[in-house]
C-alpha cells in the first residue's frame, strides 16, 4: 500500500486511539468524527433495530463458569481457518462502508488484517478495486460477492478475484432485496450526496471528516465502475440491493460451486437445515449471520442460531458467526457455542472511522488482548479448551 492510497492518521488522533481501551471507546470516537448520517449508516439497522440490539444482547445473556487452577502462562489464540493459519479466530467481515468512514478505508482493514495475521474478507462494493487490494497487501484475502441481476457482473467479478489470487469466495445470500434501513431514509443518506441544508450543516459540525472527504473525493464502488449503469445508480446506500438478483437459488449456487476452485463460504445462514444442505454440497464454511441486523428486522440473533447450525453440520464444515461482537468475551462465547471464528464488521468500522489505519489496528488489538485475558481467566489456554460447559446452563439462573 502506498501512502497516497490511505491518508495518514494525525498524531493527535493516534494519541486518542491509543487511549481507546474498548470497541465501545472506538465507537464513541467514530461518532464524534463522522457526520450523523454517515455514523447512522454504519451503526444502524433495519426498521425497529430489534435484531441489531438482539445480536448484542444475546452475548450479554450468556454467563461463564470458569475453570480454576489451570496453567494459563502460555495462552494461544492461533487456529486454522479454511486450511490456513490465523493468529486469532477472527475474520474481518466484508463491508461496503469503509470508504465513507475514511478515504479508501478498505486499505485500512486489509492492512490491519495482514498485520495481525488474520483473514480479510473484501466486499464487492468496497471503495477500492480488488486488484488494488491484492497488489498492496500480502495477508490472507477472501472475496465477498453479491449476486447481481446482470449475471455477467458476478461472473466477471469472480474471475477477477480468481486472477488476483483471492483464496476464498464468500457468497452473501441474505440480501435478495435491500433491508428497510429507516435511519438512512430519515437522514437523506444517499450517493451521490444531495447537498441538502441538513447535510451541509451535519458536515459543518464534523470538519475533520468533511475536509478529508472533500479532498479525497466521495467514495465509489470501485469494483463496479466498469459496468455501465450499475455503479452510478447503485452507489446509493438507500438503494442497496436494487441490482441484486432475488432469483438466486440453490441451483445457481451449485453452478458457482462448480466453477470456483478455491474455498467457498456462504454468508447469511440462520437455519440448521440450510447449513446441512450446504455441507452436503461441499461448501467449505458457513457464516451464521443476519447481516448485522441490517436486513430482516426480527431475525433471531445469530448467536442463538449457532448451536442448531453446529449440530446440523457436525465437523463437516467450518462455522463462522457475525453480529454483535464487541468484546473478546463475545468471541469466547461464540466459540463455546460452536463457532470456528467470528467475523467483525462494525467493530472494525468504528476503528477505521475513529482513526483510519491506526484505528483499524487498534480494533483488532483490543479484541485480541481481551480474548487472551478471557481465556486465561476461563482456564482455557487454547481455543479448543473453550468448550460448551464453560457456559452456565440457563436453569442455574432461572430454576432456583
**Minimum distance between the CB of residue 134 and a second copy, rounded to whole angstroms?**
29
Q: How far apart are CA 65 and CA 67, in angstroms?
A: 7
Point out the residues that are catalytic.
291
Task: Among 8, 10, 15, 60, indicate the residue that binds a second copy (CB under 8 A).
Answer: 60
Q: Does 397 bind a second copy (CB under 8 A)?
A: yes
Q: Does 84 bind a second copy (CB under 8 A)?
A: no
Q: Does 373 bind a second copy (CB under 8 A)?
A: yes
| C-beta separation of 231 from 129 below 8 A | no
Q: Which residues of 338-361 are buried (b: 16+ CB within 10 A; e: fewer)?
A: bbbbbbbbbbbbbbbbbbbbbbbb
Q: How many residues does the chain have?
A: 400
- Specify the stretch interacting with a second copy by CB under 8 A; choose among 159-167, 194-202, 339-347, 386-394: 386-394
**Minimum distance between the CB of residue 106 and a second copy, rounded to whole angstroms?**
26
Q: Give residue for cell 457455542.
A: 337
Window 174-193: residues binding a second copy (CB under 8 A): 174, 176-177, 179-180, 182, 185-186
Q: Does 307 bind a second copy (CB under 8 A)?
A: yes
Q: Give residue for cell 451535519.
A: 202
Task: Among 10, 65, 163, 225, indicate the residue that binds a second copy (CB under 8 A).
Answer: 65
CA dihedral sign, ordered 363, 364, 368, 371: positive
Q: Does 246 bind a second copy (CB under 8 A)?
A: yes
Q: Give residue for cell 442455574.
A: 396
Task: Among 151, 190, 232, 304, indicate the residue that binds a second copy (CB under 8 A).
Answer: 304
Window 335-364: residues binding a second copy (CB under 8 A): 337
CA dihedral 157, 158, 161, 162 (to 10 degrees): -140
| C-beta separation of 371 from 78 below 8 A | no
The smaller minimum CB distance to a second copy, of residues 64 and 193, is found at 64
Q: How far apart are CA 380 and CA 398, in angstroms?
A: 26
Window 136-165: residues binding a second copy (CB under 8 A): none
| C-beta separation of 347 from 388 below 8 A | no
- Specify the stretch interacting with a second copy by CB under 8 A; choose among 76-84, 92-100, 195-203, 376-384: 376-384
Q: Which residues of 3-13 are buried (b: 16+ CB within 10 A; e: fewer)?
A: eebbbebeeeb
Q: Does 11 bind a second copy (CB under 8 A)?
A: no
Task: Among 189, 248, 320, 350, indicate the residue that binds a second copy (CB under 8 A).
Answer: 248
Window 263-292: residues binding a second copy (CB under 8 A): 266, 268-271, 274
Q: Does 195 bind a second copy (CB under 8 A)?
A: no
The smaller minimum CB distance to a second copy, of residues 222 and 354, is found at 354
Q: Does 197 bind a second copy (CB under 8 A)?
A: no
Q: Does 256 bind a second copy (CB under 8 A)?
A: no
How far are the Cα atoms of 20, 32, 37, 135, 255 from residue 29, in angstroms, in the given order? 8, 5, 15, 31, 44
To the nearest 10 degrees (0 to 180), the angle between helices 346-378 and 106-116 is 20
The smaller minimum CB distance to a second copy, of residues 114 and 145, is found at 145
Amino acid at each position: 500500500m502506498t501512502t497516497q492510497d490511505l491518508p495518514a492518521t494525525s498524531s493527535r488522533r493516534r494519541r486518542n486511539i491509543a487511549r481507546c481501551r474498548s470497541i465501545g471507546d472506538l465507537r464513541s470516537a467514530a461518532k464524534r468524527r463522522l457526520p450523523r448520517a454517515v455514523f447512522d449508516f454504519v451503526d444502524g439497522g433495519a426498521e425497529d433495530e430489534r435484531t441489531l440490539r438482539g445480536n448484542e444482547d444475546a452475548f450479554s445473556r450468556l454467563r461463564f463458569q470458569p475453570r480454576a487452577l489451570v496453567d494459563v502462562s502460555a495462552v494461544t489464540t492461533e487456529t486454522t481457518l479454511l486450511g490456513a493459519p490465523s493468529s486469532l479466530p477472527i475474520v474481518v467481515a466484508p463491508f461496503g462502508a469503509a470508504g465513507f468512514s475514511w478515504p479508501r478505508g478498505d486499505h485500512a482493514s486489509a492492512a490491519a488484517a495482514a498485520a495481525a495475521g488474520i483473514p480479510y474478507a473484501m466486499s464487492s462494493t468496497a471503495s477500492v478495486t480488488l486488484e488494488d487490494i491484492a497488489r498492496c497487501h500480502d495477508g490472507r484475502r477472501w472475496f465477498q460477492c453479491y449476486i447481481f441481476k446482470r449475471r455477467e457482473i458476478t461472473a466477471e467479478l469472480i474471475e477477477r478475484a480468481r486472477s488476483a489470487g483471492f483464496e476464498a469466495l464468500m457468497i452473501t445470500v441474505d440480501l435478495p432485496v435491500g433491508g428497510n434501513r429507516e435511519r438512512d431514509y430519515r437522514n437523506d443518506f444517499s450517493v451521490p450526496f444531495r447537498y441538502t441544508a441538513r447535510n451541509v450543516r451535519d458536515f459543518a459540525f464534523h470538519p475533520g471528516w468533511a475536509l478529508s472527504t472533500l479532498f479525497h473525493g466521495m467514495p465509489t464502488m470501485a469494483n463496479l465502475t466498469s459496468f455501465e449503469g450499475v455503479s452510478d445508480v447503485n452507489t446509493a446506500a438507500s438503494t442497496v440491493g436494487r441490482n441484486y438478483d432475488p432469483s438466486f437459488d440453490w441451483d445457481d449456487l451449485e453452478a458457482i460451486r462448480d466453477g470456483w476452485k478455491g474455498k467457498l463460504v456462504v454468508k447469511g445462514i440462520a437455519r440448521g437445515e440450510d447449513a446441512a444442505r450446504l455441507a452436503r454440497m461441499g461448501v467449505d464454511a458457513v457464516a451464521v449471520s443476519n447481516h448485522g441486523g441490517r436486513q430482516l428486522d426480527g431475525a433471531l440473533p445469530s448467536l442463538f442460531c449457532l448451536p442448531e447450525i453446529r449440530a446440523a453440520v457436525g465437523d463437516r464444515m467450518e462455522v463462522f458467526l457475525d453480529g454483535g461482537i464487541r468484546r473478546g468475551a463475545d468471541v469466547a462465547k461464540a466459540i463455546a457455542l460452536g463457532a470456528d471464528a467470528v467475523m467483525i464488521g462494525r467493530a472494525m468500522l468504528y476503528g477505521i472511522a475513529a482513526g483510519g489505519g491506526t484505528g483499524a489496528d487498534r480494533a483488532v488489538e483490543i479484541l485480541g488482548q481481551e480474548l487472551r485475558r478471557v481465556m486465561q481467566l476461563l482456564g482455557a489456554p487454547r481455543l479448543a479448551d473453550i468448550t460448551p460447559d464453560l457456559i452456565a446452563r440457563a436453569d442455574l439462573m432461572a430454576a432456583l
